[in-house]
Structure 1
Amino acid sequence: MSTALPFDADTTLLSDVTAAVQTAGRTLRDRYTPHARGVSLNEVVEEIHANDEAVLDVLREPLLQARRGSQWAEDELAGGALPSGEWWVVDPAEGNINHVHAMPDWAVTATLVRDNQPVLTVVHLPLTGDIYTAVAGHGAHLNNQPLKVSAKTDLGAALIGTGQAKPGEDERAFRRIGESVTAMLVNGLVVRVSVPATMQLIHVAAGRMEAFWQFSDVRSGLVAGALLVSEAGGTVTDLEGKPWNTGSRDFLAAAPGIHTAAREVLTPIA
């Protein structure tokens, strides 16, 4: 999927990034409450922004210092290709909507993207302490133990997922999600529809789910999981079957044994 950094540089950088993300995770965990925060839309949005700002305050500079010359992708809801070079694509509260509603499915993610390919990622789940890591060419790991995607070959036996990439997408995007879920309900075993994307993609990388698809190109929700799944032996493409990168307009990450069948179900949904 991508070209690895020199091994020694990988090892050093991964350690620094992991430390920075763990520190950020403590900040986000300290903000977590056992009750939902915010009643009106404005109040919920304020809580989400406050989470982001608090985490970025402790995460941005350590990452930029860890990789001299790297740049920062500011808009976490943006999609499309980045300029050439190395960029940090970060979600300070992946699953922020869950966090503010007192649900446990959220994380802090930091991914180094080089020339539109993710090359290093750390996903930290502060509530459990779990740390998912991947470096291009060196595999994917959960708490330093190797990850491997599912060996299933029958889409009819597969647990598959998708979800809404961001609020406020147009009606056509929502209709595509609905049609694709229906198609997968017919062809797969069980379909999960939830957010955020990363929390489903770590399950694909760990072999707990067989596939995840998304029609949107929001970078911050896909880069970490794309590298984890790829390095765990999965197949990551767009819906035309071309290798995925941050410029791709849609996304499918799957166990190799069901990838083609999943793509054949999804491709006709225009």
Structure 2
Amino acid sequence: MTDWAAELSLAVAAAEDAGVALLRHHRSRDLLHVEEKRAGDFVSEADREAEALLRRRLLGARPGDGWLGEETGEEAGNGRRWVVDPLDGTTNFLRGLPYWCVSVALEVEGRPRLGVIHDPLHGETFAAAPGLGFRLNGRLMPRGAAAALSSALFGTGIPFGGMAHIGDHAADLARLMPQCAGVRRTGASALDLAYVAAGRLDGFWERRLRPWDVAAGLALMAEAGVRVEGMAQSEDPWETGSVICAAPGLFDGFAALLRGGQDSRA
């Protein structure tokens, strides 16, 4: 039986330690050596050092576990797997934009069950695990009421470079924007998902995210009572990385617009 309190304590401590390392690099970010993995997707020694620290802390404490990290790839384990993005929002980090985070999740029996998303600049740690609820800096967070669609604020990740689904996203925005209070593109999807769980955003959608982008957020939203589906209702967001999420009372109208439905004001 998993001791979720112990696992959450381990994950929070590891994420916050990685945050300390990232803050040190952030203060001297002009000195970082930056590489471009693909158009618009960057990595530096800050990402790599943070991931190495997370790996030492997590696998050092749980040596039989598997691993999936954005920078170091996959390693098989005992049926459990840590899924890690050491620095979500690298472009923001390098440009001095204050929206980036550390994301840590524990996948058990093929599903992300525990999630920690740590925002070092603002000193906020969003965390959740089965039976422990959704917490911000250790404090249990209540479930908020859903906004009406006309007053709702949504987050998303707008495609860039040569991504094939730029046109799909433009069509999403054309349908959604006239019906809501606004859309924010912040550049760190893991932190966006934490904000949905916390009620700061009313919903979020994006296509083709990677496992480390969504793992912790899916665990947070499960404990926060957020409804999550794929861009198509038949899709599994964990398997495809295509996500629509919102409070249950808002979800149907939001999803209908994104899926090409008729005007569905809530």
| Fold shared, TM-score > 0.5 on shorter chain | yes
Note the alpha carbon deviations across 1:176-225, whole angstroms, 9 max, x for none.
12211222102212111221112211211111211000111311111111
Helix, strand or coil at the partner of 2:16:
helix
| CA distance in structure 2 between the partners assigned to 1:75 and 1:56 by the alignment | 8
The reply on whether 1:56 has 2:72 as its aligned counterpart is: no
The residue that corresponds to 2:60 in the other structure is 65
Cα deviation, residue 84, structure 1: 9.0
Cα deviation, residue 128, structure 1: 2.0
Helix, strand or coil at the partner of 2:225:
coil
Helix, strand or coil at the partner of 1:32:
helix
| CA distance in structure 1 between the partners assigned to 2:77 and 2:255 by the alignment | 29
More strand by share: 2
| CA distance in structure 1 between the partners assigned to 2:215 and 2:193 by the alignment | 10
Aligned alpha-carbon RMSD (Å): 3.1
Helix, strand or coil at the partner of 2:84:
strand
Does structure 2 conserve the Cα–Cα contact (< 8 Å) formed by 1:148 and 1:207?
no
The reply on whether 1:216 has 2:211 as its aligned counterpart is: no
Q: Which amino acid aligns with 2:44?
A: H
1:119-158 to structure 2, matched below 5 A, reads: 119-158=113-152
The residue that corresponds to 1:105 in the other structure is 99
| CA distance in structure 2 between the partners assigned to 1:88 and 1:164 by the alignment | 27
Question: Among residues 94, 112, 115, which one is paired with 1:118 in the alignment?
Answer: 112
Identical-pair percentage: 28
Residues 119 and 133 of structure 1, relative CA distance in 2, 3 Å threshold: same
| CA distance in structure 1 between the partners assigned to 2:62 and 2:235 by the alignment | 26
The residue that corresponds to 1:198 in the other structure is 190
The residue that corresponds to 1:235 in the other structure is 227
1:37-52 to structure 2, matched below 5 A, reads: 48-52=43-47
- Unpaired runs of at least 5, structure 1: none
Residues 153 and 128 of structure 1, relative CA distance in 2, 3 Å threshold: closer
- Unpaired runs of at least 5, structure 2: 262-266
Which shows bigger deviation, 31-40 or 92-101?
A: 31-40
Cα deviation, residue 20, structure 1: 1.4
| CA distance in structure 1 between the partners assigned to 2:72 and 2:201 by the alignment | 25
Helix, strand or coil at the partner of 1:30:
helix
Does structure 1 conserve the Cα–Cα contact (< 8 Å) formed by 2:114 and 2:220?
no
Q: Which amino acid aligns with 1:178?
A: A
Residues 66 and 120 of structure 1, relative CA distance in 2, 3 Å threshold: farther
| CA distance in structure 1 between the partners assigned to 2:147 and 2:123 by the alignment | 32
Note the alpha carbon deviations across 1:33-78, whole angstroms, 9 max, x for none.
3876789975998972311111122111211133342111144699
Cα deviation, residue 136, structure 1: 2.6
The residue that corresponds to 2:155 in the other structure is 161
More contact order relative to length (CA 8 Å, sep ≥ 6) = 1
Cα deviation, residue 153, structure 1: 4.8
| CA distance in structure 1 between the partners assigned to 2:20 and 2:29 by the alignment | 19
Q: Which amino acid aligns with 1:238?
A: G
